Amino acid sequence: MLNTLIIGASGYAGIELVYYLNKHSYVKILDLVVSSNSQDLGKSIDELYPQMKKIINLKLKSLDQAMKTNKKIDVVFLATDPVTSHNLVHFFIKKKCVVLDLSGAFRINNVNFYKKYYGFVHNYTDLLKKSTYGLAEWNKKNISKAQLIAVPGCYPTAALLSLKPLIESKYLDKKYYPVINAISGISGAGRKNILNNNFCEVSLNAYNLFKHRHEPEISYYLGIPIIFTPHIGNFSRGILSTITCKVKSDMLYEDILTIFKKFYSNEPLIRIYDNKKTPALKSVINLPFIDIGFSIKGKYLIIIAAEDNLLKGAATQAIQCLNIRFGFLETESIL
């Protein structure tokens, strides 16, 4: 059994980690951790989230309280903000834990990126070099031996899984930047009570044009520039991404389908639509899959990807990485 800490357990992604890891055949959750000034400190997780009743009732502790037990910790999940993750990863790496970080604090090996897009100075260039990007379907070999796994952002997961097959197959016309319009539910902004994230205040609108921190992440791992426009909608969870791009020559629907099936036919958490239909959010909410469909007209290709931002875009992708890292069935506790 892997003795496991979940830090940031009371957040939206954190509670999904709690639920799925509690079902894991090879994981023992030692403690659920929140910040020392959290209003949730000392509460039972099933008091905070009634859906956890008769499933798990551990109390939320501070990190100091959790570390006093002196129990060996094998795995740490960080469902925390980037600054908190930045400050904690080194501590757990020194303790020889495997760390899975759901924040953006270790995704890109460039210290200037963090100052520009995250607003803090990154002090761990050595760990940035050792960090492994946890795009599970594309980086299994490195994930399988990593000590620090940086789980991709929710928007990048949908964009990268949609576009990488075309890039790897050399069919994408790189002279034309892929245009990614993605709509996320309010849960993507986290659980903090901020007026702009209040359900009654949210309308469907674009935000952070040309400056969203996920744009350089997507571009970095695709190896090409992109145009990314994020939107927030007045629904709780899920992401729908519409990606418009151009291929090098006229292609048929069956040609694109063959490309996607080549890369994903054996991937259990990717569902490719092969009936000329496109995904909707209702098909993926509360499920760990990403659904991908498309339409092509000559050289112009539109890809539609749908995922639950808290699952395939966060918690279950992190657990998928855990399973790859330790040689378990990739879908253990997920399906």
Active site residues: 154
Measuring CA to CA, which residue among 82, 97, 245, 249 is closest to residue 151? 82
Q: Which residues pair with 292 in a beta bridge?
A: 272, 305
Q: Distance between CA atoms of 231 and 225, rounded to whole angstroms?
A: 19
Q: Is the dihedral of CA 131, 137, 141, 143 positive or negative?
A: positive
DSSP secondary structure letters along 84-146 = HHHHHHHHHHHTT-EEEE-SSTTSSS-HHHHHHHTSS----HHHHHH-EE--TTT-HHHHTT-
Asked if residues 13 and 79 have their Cβ atoms less than 8 Å apart, the reply is: yes
Which residue is associated with the tokens 């729908």? 240
Which residue is associated with the tokens 């946890």? 134
Please report how many Cα atoms fall inside a 13 Å half-sphere around the Cα of residue 47, on the Cβ side. Answer: 9
Please report how many Cα atoms fall inside a 13 Å half-sphere around the Cα of residue 156, on the Cβ side. Answer: 27
Residue environment code for 242-257, b if the CB has 16+ CB neighbours within 10 A, otherwise e = bbebbbeeebeeeebb
